[in-house]
Structure 1
Amino acid sequence: MPGIPSLPAVPAHWRFPAHLASVPQARRAVADALPVGCPRHLSYELRLLTSELVTNAIRHGALADEEEMVELVFWSGDGHYWLAVSDPGSGRPDLPSPTFPDLLSAGGRGLLLIDALSDTWGVATRAIRGKSVIAGIRVSKS
């Protein structure tokens, strides 16, 4: 994974309850944070990527029986729009591999979408607890 730039002094940052009802709220938050004039296709890709990252964090990184939160950070830098979604789940030093579910499976395509939508992505273990999945989409696609 290419180097991920440092967070700017004031990135857009939100915390959401680890419930699936938070996914559309996260998507709206990123849409509202995009600069005026952001190309429609890029806005769509960022909102879809947000949905996948937040859904994965809720489903795979939070405990269903506890009141846990997921964090979403959005910033631009190094010619990319960056999304970082953090959850309290165990961190993984290696990148999870996208799987190819059978055609009738209802799920299992999240990492495939993340891999297809982003120009770079990776997992970072948080210092105290949890992990962050960070994905970047180039601002200007050639």
Structure 2
Amino acid sequence: MPEIPLVPVHWRLPAHPTSVRRARHAVAESLPDVCRPHLADDMGLLTSELVTNAIRHGACREDEGLIELVLWPADGHYWLAVSDPGTVKPRLARPDTDSESGRGLLLVDSLAAAWTVRPRPSRGTSVIAGLSLQPAG
């Protein structure tokens, strides 16, 4: 009999700055105890960056003011997808030293084992990032 996978954890949060902390806490609490020592800090940073970007750049209007998060284990990684109703495809930037923003995806790129941007089937964009379940080192 095949191993039955875990059901992904899913949240819908308002596109408001207070959701960043809520999302970070919810994701950390959903990680299995055995994974927390080596995943919690990096997953918290990924969550903060991706949710912040979704709120700033993807939430278009008040009536569409929700972002969605999905967390699931697969293929030796824990994956986080953060989705918003926006149509702008996030891209890696190279801000100059005087810029006060634009470094979020650079952080995601350095932390994640892999990440990508995908259009949603109906409307919107998802950024998906994965962290290895194996501790580094």
Q: Does TM-score exceed 0.5, indicating one fold? A: yes
Q: How many pairs were matched up?
A: 131
Structure 2 CA distance for aligned equivalents of residues 74 and 110 of structure 1: 19
Out of 33-42 and 132-141, give the one that drifted further: 33-42
> For residue 126 of structure 1, what is the amino acid of its counterpart?
R
Task: State how far apart, in whole Å, the 2-side matches of 1:109 and 1:120 are.
Answer: 17
1:80 paired residue number: 77
Match of 2:122 in 1: 128
Q: 2:26 aligns with which of 25, 29, 32?
A: 29
Report what 1:5 is aligned to. Answer: none
Counterpart secondary structure, 2:62: coil
Q: Is the 8 A contact 1:91 1:126 kept in 2?
A: no
Deviation of 1:120 (Å): 0.4
Which sections of structure 1, spanning at least 5 residues, go unmatched?
1-7
The question of 1:66 aligning with 2:62 is answered yes
Q: Deviations over 1:53-94 (max 9, x none)?
A: 10011111012x4141000000111000100000000164xx
Unaligned runs of 5+ in 2: none
Is residue 110 of structure 2 the alignment partner of residue 113 of structure 1?
no
SS of match in other structure, 1:121? strand
Q: Of Structure 1 and Structure 2, which has the larger fraction of its residues in helix?
A: 2
Once residues 40 and 138 of structure 1 are traced to their aligned partners in structure 2, the CA distance between those partners, rounded to angstroms, is 13
Separation (CA, whole Å) in 2 of partners of 1:99 and 1:130: 21
Look up the equivalent residue of 2:39 and give its one-letter code.
Answer: L
Shift of 1:133: 0.5
After superposition, the CA RMSD in angstroms is: 1.7
CA distance in 1, matches of 2:69, 2:36: 22
Q: Which of residues 11, 34, 40 in structure 1 aligns to 2:8?
A: 11
Query: What displacement does 1:41 show?
Result: 3.9
Letter of the structure 2 residue corresponding to residue 120 of structure 1: A
Question: Could you say if the C-alpha distance between residues 127 and 39 of structure 1 is closer, same or farther in structure 2, counting changes exceeding 3 Å?
Answer: closer
Q: Is the 8 A contact 2:79 2:128 kept in 1?
A: yes
